[in-house]
Structure 1
Amino acid sequence: MKVDFNRLKTEISLPDFLLNLGWKFVAGSSNSCPKMSNGTHTIVIKRNAQNQYTYWDVHSDNVRGRTILDMMQEHLFETTGKQPTLREVGEILQNYINTNQIITPENSRYDVGNTSMSTDELTMYLKQLLPYKGNYLQKRGISEESIDSPVFKDVFLIREVKNKNTTYRNICVKMYNDKGVQAISQRNESFKGILGGKFDCLALSNHDKSRPIDILYVGESIIDCISHYQLCHKNTSLNLVYVSTEGTLTEGQMQLLRIIISKNEVKSLRTIFDNDKQGYKYTLWLDNNLRGMQHDVEQMDSEELKNTAYRVQNTEFPQKKDWNDDLKAATIEKAAD
């Protein structure tokens, strides 16, 4: 059966699909931004820059920007105990489209909005960004020297949000694609989120554009990137670039990495993902995507994922869960000495 994965992600109405699976709308839901729960997970649905239905779990930073393929794969695993391949999931959903068993957007009353911002919206948010101040980074072991280094100077910004009598200070980084700034990643002590669509965008550090890039590092979080820099490359003369997916690694981000590599002289690309199941998956996805490997990632158990990821060329994993955890541990150890 011929499967058009993009068609599945755009033409099947995810809210109606979830209603068929027993999900319910919950407080805070709207037709343009449905919020749904199955009693265990609560998600928000938006369209990405490719007009695909995507969803975020409001209680988990690891579930961001996923599509109906991920949802159906998890549903089948929970109901059958077997992990289906994406191809198998695609064939099931394609059959639903062919037999008109799934409601398509034009027949749905849920006009799900897009995650990408208009130019005016983006300009408005960019004007709100201020130079970094405060101690959010310092509390995580990141030094003033690293923040003001040539690699990370002015990468971290502040966006102040006022709610009643309280002013919240969000730590922000810009996210770029080949057309420039398209989104803003922001976080504070209690939340993480993206303004705009991150599907084909990456947060990135500074570098000397007149020189070849010695090492291009790919990580999950810009906080982890600067932590890795402080641990491994402080005061280096190497021309480094750190890029961060700011959460789930997407197909669009992998395509953007290929564009970056094609337009720059990159001597080495290395991954610095988290030392956990998702980090191992991202490592293997990139190995497949950029180096033409054929890791059957979805068929591996946790131990095989880890062992295979650790054998991938030019991969670094932290000792603890992530590089900021390593930095904080090193800072405590240094203070004890």
Structure 2
Amino acid sequence: MYFNSQDDRDKGSVVDWMKNRVTTGRIAGIEQLPGRNLWQSVNDHFRAYLNLPEAERPRLNLPPVSETAPGEKFQSIYTRDCRPLENTAYLESRGITKTTIENPQFAGRILNQLHTVQREGMPAKTYVNTAFPAYHAGRVVGLELKGEGFKGQAAESQFARSLWLSKLPAGRPPTHLVVSESAIDTLSYAQLHPGERVLYASTSGTLTQNKIFEMKRLMDEELIPAIKSAFDNDTQGHHFDTRLLAGFASEQNPMKVVREHEYLLTVQVTTSDLTGIQAVTQQLKDFNARTTEHYKRESGEADSPALAQTLRDSLISSTRQGPNTYQFHVPMNREALGTFNQAIGRHLQYDKKIELVKSQGKDWNEDLKQDQMRQVVKRELGSDNTPQPEAPAAVPDKGERLLTIAYRESRDEMSQLSTLQQNLERVGLIIDHSRRLESTAPREIATELTLRYQLDSPQLPAISAALDSLAINPRVAVNEAVPAQTERRQLAAEQEVARQQKRAEQQQLQPSDSPSHDQARRVFIEAAAPVAQTLRENGGGLQAAYLQQASKSLLKQPVLKALDQENLVRVLAKIDQVPALKDSSSVGQLRQAMQVLSTPIKQEQAQAQQPERRQPTFIRDARRAIEQEAEGRPDAATYEEAGNAALNIVLSHYLATPLLNPGLLAHERLAHQREHYERLLQQSADLLAQERREGAAEAALRAGVPPVGKKVANARHARTAEENLRLTARVRELEALLAAR
């Protein structure tokens, strides 16, 4: 026969063991086989096990139990990896102070467990958990483990019959046994109620009949007259109260839990105390009346002899099963269970005195944190009625700041409290806790939120703006000290200025070797901002993001990447669909800049560095003729410079002519034509002006500027050979003009 201490339904013979594992799938590989029913699958698994050779059958290898020599202290297998409590980080993170931890009653009852994990190819890592030994009859039979983001138990722990216990108080016997759901709640209760002479116990999250037997044994042995049930203030905590009351019921009025359903608890009480049972019934009737009135007020339903199903499921009912035997059917909710427990505990007799104590929040640890937070708020904000002495000027603390807000809303409107909380958390404020305030107006709900934020938070400007907006909201009252408010606004303004400076530094253009590309990058970035804004306003958020990403890339690189070019094609397609951008000058600038930035910069550099390789024959012949004619002239240098400047103008037009240079694309021709044309003309004028030959400079400019027609400007048609010959003739005219001067 076997019995699972963690599940009282898992018990019986070896056949029951196999059946329970086939139906639940607790062990991998043991499950109901396809095409076989339950019992056939059980037989199949047994047959497979028995058909294995003796040596291959899996067995459970338990560690041998070592004998303890006379006088040697017993060492539990559960605590062999434990050390005395040194690392208290987890306990302090839960609000437990050093004073509570060092209480003599908890000495040796809280340990550190070392757990080492070794993964293949990685160094071993040791975790330090906080361990709470579970005791039964004075011996450790389990270990409850707690850590940051972790809770568990040691293998083979017997929590179904054990309790975590403190030591007895020194001197006189304890007045109460205080029992709670977890050791953390027990420590929190002890910290909130110092000075009580009690024995502390924890059930490790479960309450079984064996645990109740252990409590009775402890109270009888240590002569403890009363017990305080300090379970959580939720449905499960009140359910544990009911079990505890049933377990401690006296022989004069035995009490037991007959049925535990997900939504209903049935409790049977046998008593001859008619007065007591009538008092219990009357208190339950009062609860039903209050519940009915509240339901009708909230639902707006008129009085009706027939009860709605929702209301019926919330009421406590009772039936008489026989002489002095009563059954109570209690809904599984906190209010109903709490009312039933108070009535039963107050009006029926028990062998031990039982007190039901509850926390204000969900559990005692939550109460402890709220109490600590109230102390911090009081210290930070002070009292409105008590004048605070003026503190000397000091460097402001760069820590966190606390404040409270009171939010009021009507019951007749849809609640906006959850939306407000989400918005506050979104901007960076942390909501420590909230509590309901007493409303001063009819049908009004008032809620107080305690907020905190870090002064060095990168979201401080948004936090400051949100708090300033709340201050002018008629539904919100902000309770913030004036110095803290001034400090917050100053730091937020400084952070915003620093952020703008950093953004400006990041947006500085890194120059490249191509002036034309740098100019196109500036035009693109300036034009992209208003276009992106208009796209966002017209449902083009994704295309606006593409545009901003391309602008960001162009800050560091002179050409558009292939991915950016693909995305910009989508941007242009979206721009064509937006009427607001139809006649926008920014769009035109954007398109022109894109044409330049799609050109590799190496090609332009090669053309600029090696212009002589692209010179046609008639240009080279003209240069040689100018050099020959300049020999022996008194103004040979000026003559040669003016002639070469004019030839450079001709060369720039030649490079932009698709008939003579078909390898260039349209936007490349435009770029070369504009840059070479303007730069070489200016160089020619500067050189001639330095030689005090202003007249020659003007003549060179007039003679060297050929008439640029629409076809040439758009670079769509080729120049003919006749046009190039005419340009060459003008060079000759320039030579004659210079010779005459």
With the length of structure 2 as denominator, give the TM-score of the two structures: 0.31
Is the Cα contact below 8 Å between 2:219 and 2:225 reproduced in 1? no
Shift in CA distance, 335/102, structure 1 to aligned 2, threshold 3 Å: farther
Structure 1 residue 9: deviation in Å? 4.5
Gaps of 5+ in 2: 1-6, 32-38, 50-57, 67-73, 119-123, 267-329, 346-353, 379-741
Compute the displacement of 1:250 (Å). Answer: 1.4
What TM-score do you get using the length of structure 1 for normalisation?
0.66
SS of the residue corresponding to residue 374 of structure 2 reads: helix
Q: Conserved in 1, the CA contact under 8 Å of 2:185 and 2:363?
A: yes
Contact in 1 for aligned 2:176/2:228 (Cα 8 Å): yes
Deviation of the 1:123 alpha carbon: 3.0
CA drift of 1:208 comes to 3.2
Do residues 262 (structure 1) and 220 (structure 2) align? yes
Provide the residue aligned with 1:134 in structure 2. 88
Partner of 2:377: 336
Cα separation, 2, equivalents of 1:210 and 1:239: 9
1:175 aligned residue = 134
1:36-55: CA deviations, max 9, x gaps? 9xxxxxxxxxxxxxxxxxxx
Establish whether residue 123 from structure 1 lines up as the match of residue 155 from structure 2. no
The corresponding residue for 1:285 is 243
For the pair 1:325 / 2:366, whether they are aligned, the reply is yes
CA offsets per residue over residues 239-274 of structure 1, 9 Å max, x none?
311011111111211111111122121132111001
What is aligned with 1:144? Answer: 98
8 Å CA contact 2:179–2:230 kept in 1: the answer is yes
Superposed counterparts of 1:274-313, under 5 Å: 274-292=232-250, 294=255, 296=257, 298-299=265-266, 300-301=330-331, 302=333, 303-311=335-343, 312=345, 313=354
SS in 1 for 2:223: coil
Shift of 1:329: 1.0
> Is 1:314 matched up with 2:355?
yes
Task: Tell me, in whole angstroms, the C-alpha distance in 2 between the residues paired with 1:316 and 1:256.
Answer: 21
- SS of 1:127's partner is coil
Q: State the AA in 2 paired with 1:270.
A: K
Q: Please, which of 158, 178, 199 is the counterpart of residue 112 of structure 2?
A: 158
SS in 2 for 1:123: coil
SS at match of 1:242: strand
Counterparts in 2 of 1:192 and 1:117: CA distance versus 1, 3 Å: farther
CA RMSD of aligned residues (A): 3.5
- Counterpart contact for 1:228–1:323, Cα < 8 Å: yes
The CA deviation at 1:179 is 4.5
Structure 1 residues 209 and 113, CA, compared in 2 at 3 Å: closer, same or farther? farther
1:18 shift after superposition: 6.4
Please identify, of 188-197 and 222-231, the stretch whose mean Cα deviation from structure 2 is larger.
Answer: 188-197
Distance change in 2, residues 1:127/1:306 (3 Å) = same
The CA deviation string for residues 133-167 of structure 1, in whole angstroms up to 9 with x for no partner, is 13111111111000001222332110111113432
Partner of residue 225 from structure 1, selected from 182, 186, 195: 186
1:179-190 paired onto structure 2 within 5 Å: 179-190=138-149
1:245 to 199, 203, 210: 203
AA matched with 1:321: K
Query: C-alpha deviations, 1:4-27, integer Å up to 9, x for none?
Result: xx996421736634644xx545xx
- Give the secondary structure class of the aligned counterpart of 1:288: helix
Aligned residue in 2 for 1:197: 158
Aligned pair in 2 of structure 1 residues 144, 206: CA closer, same or farther (>3 Å)? same
1:277 alignment partner AA: T
Distance 1:260 1:117 in 2: 31
Is residue 17–residue 103 contact of structure 1 (8 Å, CA) maintained in 2? no
- In 1, distance between residues paired with 2:163 and 2:9? 25
User: 2:175 maps to which residue?
Assistant: 214
Gap change, CA 1:282 and 1:107, over 3 Å in 2: farther
Equivalent residue, structure 1, for 2:734 = none
Offset at residue 130 of structure 1 (A): 1.2
Contact 1:213 1:266 in 2 (8 A): yes
- Corresponding residue for 1:10? 11
Give a deviation string over 1:179-217, Cα, whole Å, max 9, x none.
522111112123322222112110011113652221110
Aligned AA (1:201): S
Corresponding letter in the other structure for 1:306: G
Q: Which whole-Å CA distance do the structure 2 matches of 1:10 and 1:278 have between them?
A: 25
The 3-state SS of whatever aligns with 2:145 is strand
CA distance in 2, matches of 1:8, 1:112: 24
The structure that is helix-richer by fraction is: 2
Q: Helix, strand or coil for the counterpart of 1:137?
A: helix
Question: In 2, Cα distance between the equivalents of 1:219 and 1:287?
Answer: 14
Aligned AA for 2:374?
A: E
List gaps (5 residues or longer) in structure 1: 1-5, 37-99
Quick one: distance in 2 between partners of 1:128 and 1:201?
Answer: 20
Contact 2:209 2:247 in 1 (8 A): no
Structure with greater contact order relative to length (CA < 8 Å, sep ≥ 6): 1
Contact 1:222–1:243 at 8 Å: present in 2 too?
Answer: yes
Paired positions, count: 256
- State the distance in 1 between where 2:41 and 2:237 align: 33
Change (3 A) 1:181 1:7: closer
Supply the AA of the counterpart residue of 1:279: G
Q: 1:253 to 1:7 in 2, by over 3 A?
A: closer
Query: What amino acid is aligned across from residue 19 of structure 2 in structure 1?
Result: D
Q: In structure 1, what residue type is equivalent to 2:233?
A: N
Letter in 2 for 1:170: N
Larger Cα Rg: Structure 1 or Structure 2? 2
Give the superposition deviation at 1:332. 1.1
Counterparts of 2:59 and 2:362 in 1: how far apart (Å)? 35
User: Residue 282 and residue 14 in structure 1: after superposition, are their counterparts in 2 closer, same or farther (change >3 A)?
Assistant: farther
CA distance in 1, matches of 2:362, 2:188: 13
Q: Which letter maps to 1:326?
A: D
